[in-house]
Every structure is written in structure tokens, then in C-alpha cells.
A and B are shown apart, each in its own frame.
Chain A
């Protein structure tokens, strides 16, 4: 057997992950044609590279089909119930920073806090006959956050992309999404609620608590983690 390392299969997240490992003497690379998701590991024996969509890495870790995986804190906490029983963070990789936040139109000068959002939602529901809609793809994290902070009279609507545009399109009144610089928000005339930070996320190397290992794997894991810390 080998230690299976799951890494995002494309884009900046993949490149930065490769760089992070390279800086620790472990070379990860894609092999074969550009379209083929195969990979190779050099610099340590007994580790194989699995290229996956970043969104699927939490599930694969939880199922124990990979031993280690790189993905955002946001995705792990959104996709895995009781995530801390299934996976453990090994290292934060110091890139892929993104905050999951709640944002509303800048024109809402009367709304700056969750307390305001709650009051606005109540009035909105009275006036329009339906709940104030918040567009997001992070349903669990957002719902949990709003429940614990006592916000009512809202409804989550699913938005898998271009979430900042939903308000202008009148399919939502507010959004909950990840942002790194806030530029897209500003460009869409949105502002972040001052107490609307749900989660700070960054690319993190996770270890599965569910994956089986034999003695050789355990030795490889120990050696690998020693190189990475």
C-alpha cells in the first residue's frame, strides 16, 4: 500500500500546493497529457499523488480513500458533519486565504450588523410576504452561524457561482460567500457586515482519521509529516 495524497487537480491551488511541497523537498507533478489526471511523487517513497477536485477532497478524506489531502477549511467544515472526528489539520499552507462573509448592498446604510440584518429581514418579510433571501453555496455553515447568532426570517437560496450578481438580478437580497480581497464585492456595490465573518479559511493539509494504514504506511506517514512540519 501507499500513502495517498489528494491535491486539487487544477489551477492556482494545485500550483501553490506543488510549490509548498517542493519547498520541503518533495516534488509533485502531473504526468501524461494535460487532460489526464495522473500524478507522480519524487523525493519520498511510498506516497502516491491523487488529483481531485478541491470540493471532493473532504469527502474522500472522510471516507478514508485518501490519507492526506489539501483543501480549504471552508469546504471541510461545510461538507463534513462532525468534521473534527473525521479529519485532523496537519499544516496550514498559508495560501488560498478566503473569508466566508455575509454581504449586503452598500446602499443599505441602515444595515451594518447581524442585529440590523435580522430587523431588516423581519420588515422585509412583512412587506414582501416572503423571507429575505441570502444566496450562498455554504448552506450548513451559514445556517449554523445565523442560528447561533439568532437571526430569523431569512431563507437561503442556492448559488453555485456568480453569487455577487444575485442581488442585482433580484434572486436574493444578501449573499454569503468567500472573499479574499473584497474587490468583487465592491465592484458589485456590496459591503460586508461588520460582524458578518463566518469563517476564515485557507488551504490546509488534512490527515484522514478514517484511512487504513499498515506498518509500512505508518512509517511513511511519520517520515512524511516530519518533512512537512
Chain B
């Protein structure tokens, strides 16, 4: 096992590498206001982050990642464009696997740039790829934007699309919704009974959720019941898209084929193709780089475009060595009216040293 000072030295060298690319070094505080994190991630973050509190500032979290404070800082007073780097501890509660670290060092690089997004994606990926050179890692890439475009292009109601979009990151519920909309699973008996009734409420109305909200939802359920089933063709195209799992050139040709029947994804597919060129221009061997359309669906919810991860090829027990992706929507949510395309990635120097030692 590498010592803490060895890991810190490694992290510092990674940060220096990013600094050499023109990134400004940032040091966000370890204690982060809980509210922003909770608002963004919901209750799930409580299972992953340590929450503490005091009587003055209320709930705070031990920094579970850097991206959020870096985005907030940038949106408040960042240069445009800007590149940032950082290295330091992040804290994650571990309740299922005692072998996973609850405190570890991350080094990362974030790019806020309105210019060529494919080039920015490739820049982040290629830098991290280069820093991992010589280690037994396998890279996987994906693109949440394609899935979002595919959902947006479905021939169904806006509310169904919104529900699917909301659950892109929860594959089980996404699939359940899809099956329901396609008419594959029947409507629950209780809903059928509600829709057959006049929807009268006999019980006393208690709590904050008002009569108006209940009636609005009943009306939405009635409208949804009248909505025709999602066509089998569209469902199978979507499922075929989710199944794309190939080296980049093959994946892109599959995606182009799918785009013939799903024109809504054409632009997103073009973006993947442009990214492939930008990666190749940076010297990445895209012919052997994996693209998985479903990659990133169970991770943090904020990625909405390019996603990537590097796993230890010989150590499936280890967590991902480096991850990253594009989070344009996050800058919009935290930007108080502003927004800027952004992409970044983080590496785990401790795991890198462990892999080096194992060679």
C-alpha cells in the first residue's frame, strides 16, 4: 500500500500536469453547504456523503466531490473560458463494502469553454489517458446526450418524455415506464379503478399537497390513459440504442444506422463522430476505444453528454481509476441565469500507485 505522503505527491504531480495546460489551481473548502448538494442529488447523497451540522450554519457535508464547488465558484466569478485543477481529499460514506475507502485523494481537471465542445471533450480525455499511460487500465466512453435526444424524439406525449428523461439515470424505473407506455405491462388495478370512478375524495384532506394538485394529477392520468401506446418499433429502436457496445468506429456506424430510423439522434451522433475525430487528433487510439451507450447511466446524475471511465483491467475489485464527463446542464442549474459548456474528469492517485505496485 502506498503511504499517504506518496499519494499526495502523486496527486501534486497530476495537478502540476493539469496546471501546465493552463489550469488555475483551486482549493474549495472541505465543508460544503449541504443544501446545494441535497437539492442537486436528492436523498441519495446522504447515503454517500458525511453530513455534519452546527447551530450556526446548519447542515454541512464533507466534500464528496470537487466538481460542484468548482462549478459554483466558476459561475460566481470565473473567467471565460477557464480551466481549473485541484487535488485533495474527498469523503464518501461506505455502508456496503468495508474495503472501499471512505476518504481518498482525487486530482481533477475541469474545462469551461464555449468553443469547440468536441475538442474540449478530447482535451480532458486525452490528458487523463496520457497520465494513466503504462497502467493496465481499460477506457470506456459513452454519451448521455444521445439517450436524451432519443427520448426527446419519441413519438409520445410531453409528459411521458419528461418522465422518461427524469429516469434516464434509474435504469429500472426507466424500463418499467417504457414497458407501461408501450402497453407491455397493464395499468395497475388501482389506477384503472381510479380512472373508472369520478375521482371523488371522501377522506379529509390533510397536509401540504392540495386538492388542486391531486386533481391536476388525476387529469394528467386521464390524459395519459387516452394516449396511444408507444410503438413497438420505437421501443425496440431505443432498446437497440441502449445496447450499443462496440469500439468507437463500429459504434458510430451502428449509431448512424439507428439514426436513419431515429432522426432525433442525428445531431447527437454527429457530436460523437466529431469527438472521435478530436480524440484521434490528440493521439487517442479510437479504433480500440470502447463506446457503450448505457455507460454512465447509474452514476452521478449531472453528466448530460460525453462520459468516460477508466477501470483497472486486471483488478475488477478496484473502483474506477478515473472518471469524467460533460455537465453543461449543471452550470445552468447552478449558474443563476448563466450557463457555460463544461467538461471535466477526476483521477485517483492512490489507486494508480496500487496498480503501479502490482505490475
Contact = CB atoms under 8 A, between A and B. Distances in A.
Contacts of B207: 105, 167-168, 170, 172-173
A225 interface: no
Given A123-B216, A140-B95, A109 B43 contact: no
A154 interface: yes
A187 B95 CA distance: 36
- Greatest chain B CB density within 10 A among A109, A124, A143, A154 is at A109
B4 interface: no
Nearest to A146: B43
B96 A81 contact: yes
Contacts of A127: 213
A128 B214 contact: no
A113 interface: yes
B47 A105 contact: no
B167 interface: yes
Contact of A107 (B172, B206, B221): B206
Identify which of B47, B206, B211, B213 gathers the most chain A CB atoms within 10 Å of its CB.
B206
A82 B47 CA distance: 14
Contacts, number: 112
A59 interface: no
Contact of A194 (B170, B190, B205, B206): B190
B201 interface: yes
Contact of A155 (B38, B176, B203, B217): B38
Contacts of B42: 131, 152-155
A110 interface: yes
User: Across chains A and B, which 8 residue pairs bring their CB atoms closest together, nearest first?
Assistant: A150-B173, A106-B203, A112-B190, A150-B170, A81-B95, A167-B207, A107-B203, A110-B217
Interface of A: 81-82, 105-110, 112-113, 115-116, 118-120, 122-124, 127-128, 131-132, 139-140, 143-144, 146-156, 167-168, 170, 172-173, 188-189, 194
Given A107-B205, A107-B214, 17 more contacts: A107-B203, A107-B211, A110-B214, A112-B191, A115-B176, A115-B188, A123-B216, A131-B42, A140-B47, A143-B43, A144-B47, A148-B172, A150-B170, A150-B174, A172-B207, A173-B209, A194-B188
